[in-house]
Structure 1
């Protein structure tokens, strides 16, 4: 896995102060994507043990309330075990919530075994591609009105999409 950047403190991509990881690689090619450089799977730096340990030190900071993974496309990080292992480590070593932003819908992720395997470690999924004609700058934590903020754990238990109430 490659990554474009990591931020120790981020307040734009989820509730509270979060540590964020922008992974590299995305095949969606959404028009007007705000991270076009991150679409290349070899963009940025190679994820290695040093990067993972640095990221985890950020996650464990007392000021951090959760983790957000975006990109690129997190659900396309299935060519290796790097993201899966990171999710597992976050949940094993901390009580932090994991938010993931994906251009895939919740339903599409459930149909793909490798993507679902990643999703099962997550707490919140912001799903759906960015659609310029549906852009709404008043929306919290998403760019277009087709995107939804999903409570992953409740959705998996109920077998249907359960939206997270963030108002």
Structure 2
């Protein structure tokens, strides 16, 4: 286990967990994340990016290959066959994200009745906001369409922790 945490994949898994924990902290301690929406989503986007990079490096990609082939493109990594296991687990668990956000009173309105569709669309929207716009998320802007942060925080925070402790279960 400790040897894994010294690998590129292990280091990325730990970084992912830290980004999602930071996003959750901001989300829980502001007005449903709206005051700090851009920073919350920026942290979630980085968390997801490095979690997917952890999966790819676990499965044999070098850090240089990941950077050359994917850059910061979350959707391209998400759709890659080597990320199929994490994608499957995330889509299976995203209904729990809706319920957890509801339980913490951080969900505006009732839970989404189609959480898998919400997550799939949110991944596309986050990928665009993270790396495909002239001013990505790291530059605050109120005029863009962004996904709800809870779907990423409550879906991927537990997966980032799983990546630290049981990478084989999550990455294949």
TM-score above 0.5, yes or no: no
Q: Kindly indicate which of the two structures has a greater share of residues assigned to helix.
A: 2
What TM-score do the two structures reach when normalised by structure 1? Answer: 0.31
TM-score, scaled relative to structure 2: 0.30
Instruction: Identify, as 1 or 2, the structure richer in strand.
Output: 1
Greater RCO structure (CA 8 Å; 6+ sep): 2
